[in-house]
Each structure stands twice: as C-alpha cells, then as structure tokens.
A and B are shown apart, each in its own frame.
Chain A
Amino acid sequence: MSETSTPPNASQPADRAPNLKPGANRLLTALDAAPPDRRTCNRIRAAFPDMAEAELRGERTAQLFPTETAHLDACEACALEYGELLDALLELESIAGVTPDAPAPTLPAHMLTALRIRRWVETTAQRVLQKTLQNYGDVETQLASWLEELATAPLSMTPQTQQQMALGYGGENTEMSLIQATWFAAQFLAEQYTVEDLRALQVRGALAAPVRAAAEQVARHLPKRQRAAFIDAFVAQAMADPAAVIELGRAQ
C-alpha cells in the first residue's frame, strides 16, 4: 500500500499561512468547556462508528463531525474510548487476511434458530396480537428485550416460562405471553423440521398439520380464553405465506 508519509496539509504552499481562527476558536472552546453530562456522551458515542470510518478513509473529522469533535476536545473519557476504537480498527486493518492461531467460534445452534425465526415471529406475533387483543404495544421492542437473554442461555419452555405465560392473561404481561407463545411454536417447527421436510409437506398439501400441532402444543400453556384465537391466528398467518414457513426449517 502506498500510505503517504506526508501530512496532507504539508503540500500547502508556504506563502499561504493557514487560517488560525478556527483552531483558536476550537482550543478556546476546549479550555472553557463545561464538564460533559452522561446523555451527551451517549449521543456522541453513538456517532463513533461513522466518525471512525470517515477518519480511516482520510477525511477530516473536525469538518464532518464538528459537534462530536468539540465534545472529544472536552471529554477525556469519550476521547480515550474513541482513540481505543481507532486503534482497534487500525490493528484489525493491519492483520486483515491473517489466520489467527485458534479457529474462530461458531454460533450455537439455538442462536442460529433464533436468527432464522426472529423476523417471522415478529410478523406473526403482530397478527396474533391483532386477532387476540384490542390494544397492544410494539412487538419488535418487546421481542428484542426478551431476546437479550439469548446471549447467556437458549430460550425454552421452562416451567417458569410456562407459568409466566399462563399468568399473563389479565395481567401486565398479556402481550408478552402471546409473543412468547408465537416464538416457541415457531422454534418448535424450526428445530423439528428441515427445509426439505417442510417443502415436501407443502407439496403434499399437508403443511398446515404440523403448523397447527406446534401452535396447539404451545397454546396449552396459555389461558383458556386465548388458546383458540392464538392457534387460528398462528395457522392463518403461516398458511398465508407457506414459503416463509418452509424457510424456518433447518438446512439439514
């Protein structure tokens, strides 16, 4: 690579002295800056990936990100964190293509299943809630919040989850119990069947049976008044787009 060893501004003609005003202003601001508050830090840190990307390609961050740069001139914690990010990215750039001593890990099976079913569950849970409840909140946010537990353990139908689902009706967690039920029914399909299995069932016109069976199995843990509505909504949504259901299956 032909990295330049000359700072970009060094090619500026010597008779054209740089304008010192922006620098004077920036340094004055840095010297007089009030201690940053946590919320500002969080907002600035959210811009780090974009800033770092621009900096790595040689753009002047002070021009592209003036607010963020001013903050980094005043907040040592943020500046050090940003510096660490750049150091990490530069290091990763320098070792790109080099095979590490130890092989990289792969995602656990339960995470792979989660990757496959998340979008379908979001859409289906939306339909289930529409059919079952009059008012409901944002499915995506609730699901994401629940999925945070996936990093430490697979989400499965433990006795505790079953109890939570059963108690959900009439309580604060009504929506969550239905979202969980949708998840577990989809998870059951995704783990029990391969893509080929589901495709073969679809060809024979028999796809609805395992979908209904999965919904019925999970619905047993829901309050009685919700069961029929849940099963009907789940099956209807699945049969509206059989190709999407087939894609839930395992590769092999």
Chain B
Amino acid sequence: MTNPIFPMDIAPLDDAELWQRIARELARRGWRLAAEPAIFAAGDSFHARVQQRLTEWRQAQRRGPDDKLVEQAIVHEYCRLLHAAFSQGDGRLQAIAVDETIAYGWPLALKHYPDRKLAEAAILRAVHKVWLNIHKVQPGSYLAYFTVTLLNEFNQDHRKQKRDDAHTQFESLPDDVDYDDEAISQATEWRDPAAEEDFAELLNQLSAPSLQQLLRDCLKNPRREHIILLHFFVGLNASEIAQHLRVAVARIHNEKFRALNRIKECCAEEMRRELTLRLSLSY
C-alpha cells in the first residue's frame, strides 16, 4: 500500500521461515512496517500477532500454515490495525488508516466507474460510512466490511443511473432478463480438465447413483448438476467451485438458483422422496 509509515512494529520471530513468508507477503502487498507505540505495547509486534493468529487458526482447522492461511492471517491482523487506528481518537492514526483504506479499494472503484470523479465520490462516501459505523465492524474483517460498503455505493449509483436512463430513453430493457445467460447456461463443457477429474473423483465418492441420475434427467446440464452435488453434498464453498470452474463466485450462486428452480418445476416430489430416503438411511 501507499503509506510508508503505517503503524506496524518489527520484531524477529523464532520461526525464521514463517518470518520470511510474512515479510514476502507484506512486500507483495506493499505494506511497510514502522514502529507505532500508540498501537503496539513493548514486546508486541505485527509478526508476533500473525504467528499467534496462525496458531489459533491451525488448531481450529487442523491444517498446516499453507500460503493461503498465512496470507489471510496477515490481512486479518492488518485489518485489526486499521480498525484500531480508525477507532482511536488520534487524528494522525485515523488519517493514515483512511489513506490505507482508500488505497485498498481504489482499484475496484476505478474499475466500476468510467468517470474518475464518480469513483472518488463513491470511495469517499464509503470511507465516511465506515467511519460512522466503525463500532459495528468486526476488527478482523474490517476490509471486507469496507468492501461491502463500497459495493453498496456502486449498486446505489448503478440503480440511480438506471432510473435516470429510464427517464431519458423511450424504451428500457427489463431488469430480469439476462440476455447473455441463454448461451452461458447451455455451455456445459468444463474449462479446466484437471478440475473435472478432481470433481469426478469427489462425485464418485458420493455413491448416490439414483440421486445423480435424478439431477441429470432434470437439469440436463452437467455443470449445474455438479454445482448442486458439490455445494450441497460435498460441502464445498461457492468460491472453491468457482475457482475450479474459473468463473465468478456470483455466477455459481446464480446457477445454483437456476438449478433449484428447475428442480422445483420439474421433479420436486421425486427429489423430496429421494432426499428423504437418504435421510432415513444409516451409514
């Protein structure tokens, strides 16, 4: 990020390898370190906090300190620093936290608005709202809260723009038609053969041929069939499925609902029977 004096403290950890991973990830993000007695007591440091966070998460999840976990532990602790800086009455720290917050969301704002002034207005409004509601924000998910607020600003502006356009156009397009969707929904091929194999293995483990056949006959769309099975029965998050299919997470949710609606229209009773049977079986 941009500010060279954001309040972090540097202290060596016993775990040299982890220290280096944290340092690499901080460098990748452009987050720099500076001593800040207002936030760190003696003996406390950013690295130590990340290490502590990792220990807690690893115990809870029973997994090793993979790169994703290290990355997110850094983001989590960084969020806590921003939140602490924003919440305190110290104007200097608050100004630094604001600059860092704006720098984080700025690429997203630029992407959503063709006009830079509109992007600026939206991100400043979002920062202002976060400032007013800082007491509602969980420290560790501060940046996610800010992103939610920023997206709300985009959506409000988008709706306002649509309303304005509706007044100026003779005929506007109805909101509920996704003209691109027909072609997309028919696309059943997998984008990633490796992912297909992984998922095929998972689906084989399900050992539920009648359920799979019912979904196949109803949906007639292998990808939606897989989304339903992986999401509900394997328990994968939408983002995991999206990553493997290389599509947006929102798209996975969209297809999930189209599949659910199709099931409701086509074979709701059969599906209920099948699912009730599954619930009655003992394993």
Residues of chain A whose beta carbon lies under 8 Å from any beta carbon of chain B: 1-10, 12, 14, 16-28, 30-32, 45-46, 48-50, 52-53, 55-63, 72-73, 76, 79-93, 95-98, 100-102, 104-108, 111-112, 115-120, 144, 147-148, 150-151, 244, 247-248, 251
Contact = CB atoms under 8 A, between A and B. Distances in A.
Contact of B248 (A87, A97, A117): A87
21 contacts: A1-B71, A6-B198, A31-B263, A31-B271, A49-B142, A53-B72, A53-B144, A56-B239, A57-B76, A79-B253, A81-B151, A84-B250, A88-B147, A98-B107, A100-B106, A111-B98, A112-B95, A144-B132, A147-B132, A247-B91, A251-B92
Contacts of A18: 205-206, 233-234
A105 to B, nearest CB: 4
Contacts of B28: 96-97
A235 B95 CA distance: 27
Interface of B: 2, 28-30, 57, 61, 63, 66-69, 71-73, 75-76, 88-92, 94-95, 98-99, 102-108, 110, 116, 120, 123-125, 127-129, 131-132, 136-138, 140-142, 144-145, 147-148, 150-151, 194-195, 198-199, 201-202, 204-208, 211, 228, 230, 232-240, 242-244, 248-254, 256-257, 260, 263-264, 268, 271-272, 275-276, 278-279, 281, 283
Given A7-B240, A30-B232, A57-B68, A83 B107 contact: no
B248 to A, nearest CB: 5
Given A3-B68, A58-B68, A106-B99, A28 B275 contact: yes
Contacts, number: 257
B236 A7 contact: yes
- Max chain B CB contacts within 10 Å: which of A23, A100, A108? A23
